[in-house]
Structure 1
Amino acid sequence: MPQDDLAPAGITPFDELVYRATVSRRVASPAEIAAELGHSAERVGRALDRLREQGLVGRLSGTRRRYAAIEPQTALDALVRARTGELEHVRLAAAELSRMFAAAREDGVEEVQIATGGDALARWFVTLQQEARQEVLTLDRPPYALTTSNPVEATALTRGVVYRAVYAPEALEWPGVLNDIRELVKHGEQARVLPGLRVKVAIADRRLALMPLSLDLTGVRAAIIRPSTLLDAMVDYWELCWRQALPLDAPAAGPADDPLGEEDRQLLTLLVGGLKDDAIARQLGWSVRTMRRRMSRLHELLGASNRFQAGVTATRRGWL
């Protein structure tokens, strides 16, 4: 069939060709798809990056570039909703691509459904966000099923979905994660950090939750939880974590009596968030020696003898 069915959704014929090749595989690298299509790996790689930005494919974790298709019916419906005009034939193309998708989604009516495997976990995480209409609540910590970034969130924020995320300090130590969070905060995400976070959870509209049953994502089993007392308990637990967590990306300007600069506030936020000295220095682009010198100044300014006291004092003064 013609390779331009998805053009009304902003997908070029070549990108659609690459997307179809990705859908027909479980996991693929740019080189593998390039060999199949007879194009250069560089051109295919650029197409995969564009497809990832549109929420159609995800990049797997690791240094090697490998991609997996997101469930086509759900992913393409999100694009259709985001655009105007006559796009009905895009939905028809999405239905065809769904039939090609190897791992069929089971739409059970049970209050708790189990999905198996990292690919299924990633697909459900995308689906949960795309189906959200009001809010998405998350508890976030490593490891990650695909990439650490979440392009689906940026799209959801533009259509008015509220995101409130609680991050474990370990998440901030992953390369690029803190910058990703700051970018999302600029677009509306409310972010906090909480040491000791032991679970990963995503909740959409307080009606659907996704929780991996272990932190080993090799063959992981995840619970999809629908309205029930278990879901109510998970929402209550999230609220408890939110109240105990500290704002992760405080605004540059504090109260009138706040002597902290933006860098000092970022340093203090990361310190009370539980990050180690070398991780904080790396995130701020400082040496460990510089970071410790700046922290000593903050302790003196706040009259604190340790990180906990510094965090409590700064919070009480409205500096965090």
Structure 2
Amino acid sequence: MLETLGLSAEAAAVYQVMLSHPAADVAGLAGASGLTPAQVHDCLDELGQYMLVRASGEHPGQLRAVSPEIGLADMITRQEADLAARQAHLAASRAAVTRMVAERADHRTTQGERILGLDGIQDLLERLGRAVRTEVIGVQPGIQTIADIEAARPADAEAFSRGVTMRTLYQEAARKHPHLEVHAHWLLSQGGEVRTAPTIPQRMVIFDRTQAVVPIDPADHRRGALHVTEPGILTALLDLFEQAWNTAVPLGATRYDEPESGLSGTERELLRLLGGGLTDETAAQRLGTSSRTVRRQMAAIMERLNATSRFEAGIKAAQRGWLQ
């Protein structure tokens, strides 16, 4: 029982013996407690640190046990004082953290906070993810790596457990990557919504419709991000997302070829992009695929149209109404 106060089992045993046999010397204490004299000396030192023994006036050169009513009560009083001191230290530490957070908030502009580097972006997303209450909206162009997905999974699961809803927009090319397909179905299993489209807006994550994170450089989202809180900018981002979301295809839905053209959604978008003057490389980036795939798809479209050049293919596609 005394071990709960911090005493070792051996010291507690010696203390009990001393209370029962006040005149016992070291040898007697050793015999009664089953310890060696050396161990008894160590126990007496420990009891002395807790102020549970004092010099005996009746037996010079020996120690006597302080009665439990006094010694143990004093121990509890000291422990309560230590606990109060630790609580005061904890309160001071919490106040210091609160001041630091407030100071950082004062340095942020109403338009947004610039975050440089991937580590800083991840810290920001984690902070906003912990604070989100109702909804997370995400646009994920390109192909997420397995490492990025695994790093975000615990935070997503924790948010779902709090009843947060999630809508995520991927490029249609994501359907061809097994790890993204698996992740998307996991989001669906948690109550999230996932849609895909051939082309989608720039990368963004919007929390509770009040805060957004967008890349400083859309071509390299790992360079840095802007934390946006300005209502005007947020409204524009939300409108952009909703427009893309409303025309995207829910994951799991069958996407039929267009009946009159026989084109898939990606092929139709490719014709629009190339017809607008984009290069293969730029079109591939917009579609989340490779320039080699773009050239292969365009060659197939030209064969279908019986065209000898891309220019001719564009004219024939327009004549057939494929670009409307």
TM over 0.5: no
TM-score (norm 1): 0.44
Larger radius of gyration between Structure 1 and Structure 2: 2
